[in-house]
Chains A and B, each alone.
Chain A
């Protein structure tokens, strides 16, 4: 089975721009979660989608949004980028139940200048 894929792998944007990141989960997985990783902060949970619905949300401002399509692929959008949004954005998929292990993609490294 192919793993979780994320595109693009690297991205450079300037302040004020918006960005869309994409995640394709493992085939058959219906849950997709997004995390932000910055040095010293670990992985901060952004949101989780299941069957095209946002099932849970972390403590991030409304500039961060996401969606999930009928094929379980997910996108994450950040509007009005700030310097502090520079981070590694990770996507993880799981079959669907909250007790199940999440499998991560390689991440998208975003640099905001």
Chain B
């Protein structure tokens, strides 16, 4: 049972345009969400997080939106740069006791110059 789903395995975007990566979850107990970026042969790097008490969090070019009623979050990258090309994972956690993160299967973003 995949509790966190990233239904798009890959995405190509032109440099300078917006990249939108999506993530859906099924467990209503999840209340903390993160996005990670992963380059080949490296560990995932933390990008941005959001708590369920918010519906938006912004950090530079990266914005995460959370729609609790739809159990959906998205990561917006504006403007996209070639260096953003990587695999992006979303992760969810229920802070009330499980102490573990559930990760999606990742979306490979390719930003075309």
Asked whether A33 lies within 8 Å of B106 as measured between CB atoms, the reply is no
In this assembly, does B45 line the interface, its C-beta being within 8 Å of a C-beta of chain A?
yes
Question: Interface 1/0s, chain B 91-105, versus A by CB < 8 A?
Answer: 101110111111111
Q: Which residues 25-74 of A have a CB within 8 angstroms of B?
A: 31, 33, 35, 40-45, 48, 50, 55-56, 58
Shortest distance in angstroms between B107's beta carbon and chain A's nearest beta carbon? 10
Known: A42-B106, A98-B93. A55 touches B44 (CB 8 A): no
A6 neighbours in B (Cβ, 8 Å): 43
Inter-chain CB contacts under 8 Å: number: 65
Interface class of chain A by DSSP: strand
Interface residues on A, range: 20 to 34
Asked whether A42 lies within 8 Å of B100 as measured between CB atoms, the reply is no
- Count chain A CB atoms within 10 A of each CB in B32, B49, B101, B104 and give the residue with the most: B101
- What would be 16 A-B contacts, judged by CB atoms less than 8 Å apart? A31-B99, A40-B105, A41-B105, A42-B104, A42-B105, A43-B89, A44-B103, A55-B99, A58-B100, A90-B43, A98-B93, A101-B46, A101-B49, A104-B46, A105-B43, A107-B42
